[in-house]
Amino acid sequence: MVLRGFFRVNFERLARTAAIAVAAIGVAVGGMPGGASAEHAAQPKSQATLVRDAVDQFILPRIDTFKTRTHELAEAVAGVCQPAANPAALEAAQRAFVETVRAWAPLDLIRFGPSARNHRLERVLFWPDPRATAERQLNALLAARKPELLEPGALAAQSVAVQGLTALEALLFDDKQPLGSADDEAARYRCGMAAAISSAIDTVAGEIRSGWAGDDGYRAKILNPGPGNRLYRDTAESAREIAKALVTGFDLVRDRIALPELLAISRTPPRRARLPFERSDATGVFVVATVGALRDLYEACAFEARVGADKGWMTGFLTAGWNGLMVESERLDRVRKGEVASKDHLHVVRKLRFDITSIRQIVVRELAANAGIIMGFNELDGD
């Protein structure tokens, strides 16, 4: 078959390139913990099982966790605004914020279903924001100080940029005007706005959760494809949705993290890139949680069991790639805080991009394809 021949040639070349590239940048690819081993080889899943497991073992538990975290966040921020609040209350709210970021990361790649309706994705995280729209619009609201905007649900009618984590971060992590530290009218309004935003995020989390539930919820739709189902006519379409979410996650790591960072530190003179959640020092948390979620979803799909019998090299390559991703995502925060464009910094970012790109390519062209999930060139990334 033409295609099989194409894949063989292609990936043998990729493996050679990968081996050279990895050797050149001095990363050990063997002996890392956590990789799939021959003794624990995963079994392939049918497309129906893949979809069910991805929904029940990956998506729904993480939505529950996110809802729990947003509720805790809303309570913690409300605590900061109490008249007798002390600095510990602000620290608790900041910790709750970081935990909410950690809980959102796995859901940021689920860009279908209830998250895709009513701008919910952007109402949780407004990003990219190259012109600081969230902070600009937030400052305008703070200056206008309209009391009605602090009423429950009122923010939902405002710009999405002021409703989510990006705007809340600006309020919660403002060293010049720490939330809850003053009692003048402006300070009270700022606190009220932070409480309104955290409450709005909790509301969106609740909407996402309820959107998946029930007989006519999204879980029922994606698990029961058929001719009468307007969204998924057959199991292959449901399975493709899940696989596309995984690929979307790869692309998000590339476009939100690896490329901007690489672009900035490759300039002369090198610059600092602006990545999500820098003000709260949660960039590392977000990146690590995203990469961990990608691996969890990959495992829920049992894609590692779809390596072709004639491509034994691929198993080791994937193990090394995933281990590399985990290591690089853990190291990224640390090297970013050191000398910009240092040897370590460049190494980590280049390797991150290399691994994410390599795994994406193998998933799309080999593993998903072997599971009968064909994602076309234009379908996956057209314009």
Partner 1 sequence: MAIDRRRFVAGALVALTAPRAVLAAEARAAGQADAAIVYAAAARREGSSYAVLLVSGDGRILREIPLTARAHDIAIDRARRRAVACARRPGYFALCFDLDGRAEPEVFAPPQDRHFYGHGAFSPDGRVIYMTEHDVDTGEGVIGVYDTGNGFRRIGEFPSYGIGPHEAILLPDGRTLVAANGGFGSDPATGRESIDVAGMKPNMSFIDVETGALKAQHGLPPEINLLSIRHLAADASGAVWFGGQWQGAIEDAPRLIGRARLDRPIALVEPGGPAGDALRGYIGSVAVCAEGRLLAASAPRAGRVVYADTETGRIVHEVALKDACGLAGSGPRAFAISSGHGVVRTEQVAEGDGALETRFPSTEFDNHLRRV
Minimum distance from residue 287 beta carbon to partner 1 (Å): 14
**Could you tell me which of 238, 253, 242, 236 has the C-alpha nearest to residue 360?**
253
Helix (H) or strand (E) holding 78: helix 60-80
Site for partner 1 in 145-184 (CB under 8 A): 159-161
Determine, following the binding rule CB under 8 A, whether residue 382 of this chain makes contact with partner 1. Answer: yes
> By CB under 8 A, what part of segment 215-254 binds partner 1?
230-231, 251-252, 254
- Binding of residue 67 to partner 1 (CB under 8 A): no
Contact 311, 366 (CB under 8 A): yes
Residue 108 near residue 121 (C-beta atoms within 8 A): yes
- Rounded CA-CA distance 17/218 in Å is 42
Question: Binding partner 1 by CB under 8 A: which of 106, 113, 180, 249?
Answer: 113
Q: Which stretch binds partner 1 (CB under 8 A): 79-87, 97-105, 111-119, 306-314?
A: 111-119
Q: Spell out, one character per residue from 12 to 51, where the chain touches partner 1: x when CB under 8 A holds, - when not.
A: -xx-------------------------------------
Cβ 110 vs Cβ 59: under 8 Å: yes
377 contacts partner 1 (rule: CB under 8 A): yes
DSSP 222-239: HHS-STT-SS-SSHHHHH
Q: Which tokens in the block code for residue 113?
A: 């279903």
Binding segment (CB under 8 A) for partner 1, from list 33-41, 108-116, 283-291, 295-303: 108-116
Q: Is 358 exposed, middle or buried (0-12, 13-18, 19+ CB in 10 A)?
A: buried
- Please state, in angstroms and rounded to a whole number, the distance separating the CA atoms of residues 134 and 163: 9
Rounded least distance, CB 24 to partner 1, Å: 10
Of 92 and 200, CB closest to partner 1: 200
Task: Name the one range near partner 1 by CB under 8 A: 145-153, 169-177, 288-296, 373-381.
Answer: 373-381
d(CA 328, CA 351) in angstroms, rounded, equals 7
Q: Which residues bind partner 1 (CB under 8 A)?
A: 2, 6, 9-10, 13-14, 112-114, 116-117, 119, 122-123, 126-131, 133, 159-161, 230-231, 251-252, 254-256, 259-260, 262-264, 266, 273-274, 350, 361, 374, 376-379, 381-383
